[in-house]
Amino acid sequence: MTQHVSEKDVRAIAEYARIGLTDEELPAMTEDLNAIIESLKPITEYDLEGVEPTFHPVGDLSNVMREDVEGTSFTQEEALSNAPKQQDGSFLIPSILGGGEA
């Protein structure tokens, strides 16, 4: 198998990514990364002559969200009208951290 990255490269990558890598793990990680890079080799065989690079694979996208325009909304009473439990004008929900009653 072709050696694309050395153990020195893998150690530098691990340090940069702040991944704790022991001396015992280094050879296996180097072998794994080289195998991954080798498995991607067929991608380099595509003829990409004249293909323009794109930021997004779908092409020229633009923001499709609508303008943020204020509209009519519920009153507090309408919003709370179907709430199973409410307290002091707010929704009353079970505590997710425990210790509370709802």
In tens, the pLDDT along 20-42 reads 999 999 999 999 999 999 999 99
Separation CA 95–CA 12 (nearest Å): 45
Residues spanned by the domain of 39: 7-44
Please state the rounded mean pLDDT for residues 6-13: 96
Q: Is residue 102 part of a domain?
A: no
Q: Can you read off the two tokens belonging to residue 71? A: 């509209």
Q: Which of the four pLDDT bands, split at 50, 70 and 90, describes residue 12?
A: very high
- Indicate the residue type of 46: Y
pTM for the full predicted model: 0.48
Domain count, the chain: 1
